[in-house]
Structure 1
């Protein structure tokens, strides 16, 4: 019975104007009799609304739609019965439009909008996706359109209800006008609005950025001919497609499963083979140790018994036990049989929470330490970048100068482009001169400050089109930011973070100066030692992560870095910041780069400085003896520091030793000053 009443509710709600017209005009039913019928319907709808739903948890759940209609019908019926006027029956359509206007309109202020709520109920993948904000904006526009429709429809319905008075029509003519609009034209307009919106939605949907993270992609996520990777320059047309990806990962999965091993060390300079091998390892639920360093001594430190070493590089010393059994990835792919359609169309599930990924970092001793990571945190970290800059990736092709074996290179060079479908270059840019040929399309560049510095030293003005630059792995100096914008036509967007924290904040110096803006998913505060503390989805410790970076946090939540706490040393009871000494040396206008380190001999602790002179410095000290150069810098620093904390040893170099990420090698610099 209840189902019948519910069905009756929807039918009557749809044909209400026609029903009223038929009873009043065709069958000549008295207004008071019709009002009694309406009251009876209201009672029936009330019963269907207050009936209980037997569930495992609760009873007596109200069905609000019939309950609302029963209230409206009851009000219309009672007014009509006591006044004898049919006007109140006709105003039902006006009340419905007004009610819907309030419901839809209120969600424009009490977000999210009702259309967005409907959309997320119908498609749960929208929440947290790369296109969530686009969908939300589109749904807001649709909600506004419906609000406008309800205003116009309600107004027109009201006019038809009073058409006898407004236009001087007879009662029967007025009834016909009201019934034709409210029972016909109104529904046609509503249907047209639904149809037009559906067509527009499909067109908008095609333009929306579709994200398929490594832990969530399926074989049919992209079309077979979708380009994921290119060689050299985009215009040369040497591409690797989605189908190539499915085939190569299937080949590698077959080998990985056949080994029976659980842990693999992965080093692969080729970004394409790296991606395929990495994904295959995760699909096989193996532990992946990513390393840039494959020297025999390093591998001897990190390889455990039973580990398999996968690489695309020829080993310099194949006789060394730690690397002698290296397996060449390209050989596996090229010599493996072509998998069947079923084999490569099958994509084993990757559970982001259960992935075992290890990145190597080193402490003050330089001994490698494997830091455990998961795709869950990587992809949560990517989510903020995607929400803010997805369009910058999808409108360009990707270049990188950094290693994918470190967190910055992996996130921006592998994970992000794969997720967004941004084609990436198969090999990283190794020399600044390579930029001169990358003028065919727009590129997004993933770089380090060190590489940008090398580039601006040898290039005047590059002809690259609409380039976008991300940089991390160190702070960009004010001078370098200006020079980079001059050479590339874009001021680099810096990302602040580390292997332990991933991305924390960003800045672009032509807008933000030296002040950092935290990522929306990061919470920061200062510890008792004045150092930055962070909580973010990436950091697994609920108490957050304590950095060694001294900072000042402003009222708006942004912050300024003030050097590292581990750069502060105490020499003869005098506390001195090595970062401050470096900054003072840069202020001379004669220094291009500098690193100050704390040294210790049998007698005392002291500072030493490794300095790279700029063109002006080289010219000023041309043919000058080294001890006089030392004295010049000593005298300059005496303006700011006591003699006891001024560097006692100096080395003047062509460049400072750095790793592939552009970070200065502290131990190598210290070795320059060690007493023999």
Structure 2
């Protein structure tokens, strides 16, 4: 199986085969062009003595070329998950080179990719294979909003991608890969970069933002879409004009059953949900029409601690390394489990145990509400939960609706665990892959 770490890129320097297709499906990038752009990147990155390059590049093709050059030069590659100025400022120091498609970049990427190739780097490629033990580290902020660096090797990511290929080969081989998830998140890196490269199948050069873009690929019989619940929640049947044999991966959060039903109506297939984390990688999957429970991937070992929290060990977490994932589960047998929620979603209010996700699920059972997110809060004087709710009809009186919410929830929960504060918002603040922005929620609370 082909991997970044076992590919001799020199052997591809004259290849006319297609590497990536532009998402408008009007142009494409050949492997020989990709190799030339690696050579251009090597010329510029090699001038820096620092061991680490820290990267945020929106353009997926340029991202792949730059990090591949970094791997060849045995640089540690740190991947940022956003490029907001203060966020970048909090991370970048004099031990690393920042490479981005913004003005703060140490390299001007337009200059790099328009430069002439220095032939000496082709000679280097002739003798060089990427070391699988190079580090490619992803920053993640989870719900805290503060950057956390997850350190992993390319070998670990390729082991995860290999498992995905082996598990789902029949469904995804000979398929065009489209994706809506950013390549600078670990899920996108594995499923939208490494997996298509291993399969030697065609992939687009950048993520799509709208389902309508898929219509550019009417001539493909099989299409795999790597996406998220946040994207699938927004799709509309009228947007899809073409027919294909579809396969859908979704991760970064649980998919609501009604959204899966919508996907079955539009694509005539279930969504394959992937359960995992940046630290642990892909751990389990489910297709709702086959099983409502999550099934572990065969290379993954799972166990629960005394509090019911799941832990994971696999070939891509490191030998005998167990990762505490932070989710509470109900293990049904050695292979299957029910996901109950985050550890921090199950709280005690005045001695009463409650899952804040239960509150959200119940709120969303009422058609007056479009979205909901409930959090646990603690002050010097008390502990309570607060709910952020998006109404379907925003013209309703908010005070009347707050009373309605409380009266409605009283039918399902004890009074002591009901939300003490309710905020009606235009939308729940989430990142581009659907993760909750807790700092934004705190700002809403502070402003009220």
What is the aligned counterpart of 1:658 among 427, 430, 442?
430
Paired position in structure 2 for 1:226: 17
Does the CA contact (< 8 Å) of 2:70 and 2:76 recur in 1? yes
1:518-597 mapped onto 2 (5 Å cutoff) = 518-540=296-318, 542-555=320-333, 557-597=335-375
Note closer, same or farther for the CA distance 1:292–1:510 as it changes in structure 2 (3 Å cut).
Answer: same
For 1:518 and 1:286, the matched residues in 2 are separated by: 34
Q: 1:363-382, aligned counterparts within 5 Å?
A: 365-382=144-161
Contact 2:385–2:419 at 8 Å: present in 1 too?
yes
- Match 1:253 to one of 14, 32, 42: 42
Alignment partner of 2:209: what SS?
coil
Find the aligned partners of 1:489 and 1:338 in 2 and give their Cα distance: 50
Higher helix share: 1
Give the Cα separation in 1 of the matches to 2:47 and 2:384. 57
| TM-score relative to the length of structure 2 | 0.93
Compared CA separation, residues 573 and 590, structure 1 to 2 (3 A): same
Indicate conservation of the 8 Å contact 1:263/1:288, yes or no.
yes
Q: How far, CA to CA, are the matches of 2:241 and 2:253 in structure 1?
A: 23
What SS does the aligned partner of 2:29 have? strand
Is the aligned partner of 1:450 residue 2:230?
yes
Question: Against the structure 1 CA distance between its residues 545 and 600, is the aligned structure 2 distance closer, same or farther, given a 3 Å change threshold?
Answer: same
Q: Are 1:641 and 2:413 an aligned pair?
A: yes
Task: Choose the corresponding residue for 2:272, options 477, 488, 493.
Answer: 493
- Do structure 1's residue 612 and structure 2's residue 385 form an aligned pair? no
Give how far 1:214 is off: 0.6
In the alignment, is the contact (CA less than 8 A) between 1:550 and 1:565 conserved in 2?
Answer: yes
Deviates more, 1:224-233 or 1:427-436: 427-436
Report Cα offsets for 1:116-144 as digits up to 9, x if no partner: xxxxxxxxxxxxxxxxxxxxxxxxxxxxx
Task: Map Cα deviations across residues 97-155 of structure 1 (whole Å, 9 max, x no partner).
Answer: xxxxxxxxxxxxxxxxxxxxxxxxxxxxxxxxxxxxxxxxxxxxxxxxxxxxxxxxxxx
Tell me how far apart the structure 1 counterparts of residues 154 and 214 of structure 2 sit (CA, whole Å): 32
CA distance in 2, matches of 1:556, 1:577: 25
Residue 345 of structure 1: CA displacement?
5.2
Q: Deviations over 1:4-41 (max 9, x none)?
A: xxxxxxxxxxxxxxxxxxxxxxxxxxxxxxxxxxxxxx
Do the aligned partners of 1:212 and 1:221 also contact (CA within 8 Å) in 2?
no
Contact 1:250 1:343 survives alignment (8 Å): no
| Whole-angstrom CA distance in 2 between matches of 1:534 and 1:362 | 20
Show the counterpart of 1:480: 259
CA contact (8 A) 1:308 1:326 kept: yes
The answer (yes or no) to whether the contact 1:283–1:350 under 8 Å persists in 2 is yes
The structure number with the bigger radius of gyration is 1
Q: Specify the alignment match of 1:405 in structure 2.
A: 184
Cα pair 1:432 1:454 within 8 Å, conserved: no
Q: Secondary structure at the match of 2:255?
A: coil
Query: CA–CA distance in 2 between the matches of 1:229 and 1:344?
Result: 24
> How far has the Cα of 1:255 moved from its partner?
1.5
Task: Confirm or deny that 1:332 pairs with 2:122.
Answer: no
1:242-266 deviations in whole A, cap 9, x for unaligned?
1112211111112111222211111
Distance, in Å, in 2 between the alignment partners of 1:344 and 1:271 is: 24
Q: Of Structure 1 and Structure 2, which has the larger fraction of its residues in strand?
A: 2
Are residues 612 and 675 of structure 1, via their aligned partners in 2, closer, same or farther at CA, if it must alter by over 3 Å? closer
Tell me the equivalent position of 2:210: 431
Which whole-Å deviations, capped at 9, do the CAs of 1:214-233 have from their partners, x for residues lacking one?
A: 11111366670111101124
Tell me which residue corresponds to 1:314.
102
**In the alignment, does 2:82 pair up with 1:293?**
yes
User: Does the CA-based 8 Å contact 1:380-1:537 persist in structure 2?
Assistant: yes
The answer to whether the 8 Å contact 2:143/2:436 transfers is no
Distance of aligned partners of 1:461 and 1:333 in 2 relative to their CA distance in 1, 3 Å threshold? closer
CA 1:212–1:435 in 2, change beyond 3 Å: closer, same or farther? same
Q: Does 1:627 align with 2:405?
A: no
Show CA shifts across 1:287-335 (max 9, x none).
Answer: 1111131122111111121421112x234xxxxxxx3x53232321212
1:510 maps to 289
Asked if structure 1 preserves the Cα contact closer than 8 Å seen for 2:409 and 2:418, the reply is yes
Alpha carbons of 1:445 and 1:344: their partners in 2 closer, same or farther (altered >3 Å)? farther
Structure with the bigger RCO (C-alpha within 8 Å, sep 6+) is: 2
1:183 aligned partner: none
Cα deviation for residue 448 of structure 1 reads 0.4
Indicate if the aligned counterparts of 2:40 and 2:115 stay in contact, CA closer than 8 A. Answer: no
C-alpha contact 1:597 1:608 (8 A) present in aligned 2: yes
d(CA) in 2 for partners of 1:431 and 1:384? 29
Number of equivalences: 446
Which residue pairs with 1:3 in the alignment?
none
Give me the whole-angstrom Cα distance separating, in 2, the residues matched to 1:423 and 1:332.
Answer: 25
The 2-side partners of 1:478 and 1:244 are apart by 43
Query: 2:139, 2:29 → 1: CA distance?
Result: 29
SS at match of 2:362: helix
Post-superposition Cα deviations, 1:189-244, rounded to whole Å, max 9, x if no partner, equal: xxxxxxxxxxxxxxxxxxxxxx310111113666701111011244x2x1111111
**Does residue 128 of structure 2 align to residue 348 of structure 1?**
yes
Shift of 1:475: 0.6
Shift of 1:347: 5.4
Distance 1:462 1:598 in 2: 44
- The 2-side partners of 1:272 and 1:597 are apart by 38
* 1:162 paired residue number: none
Deviation at 1:632, TM superposition (A): 1.3
Maintained 8 Å contact 1:532/1:549:
yes
Query: Normalised by the size of structure 1, how large is the TM-score?
Result: 0.63
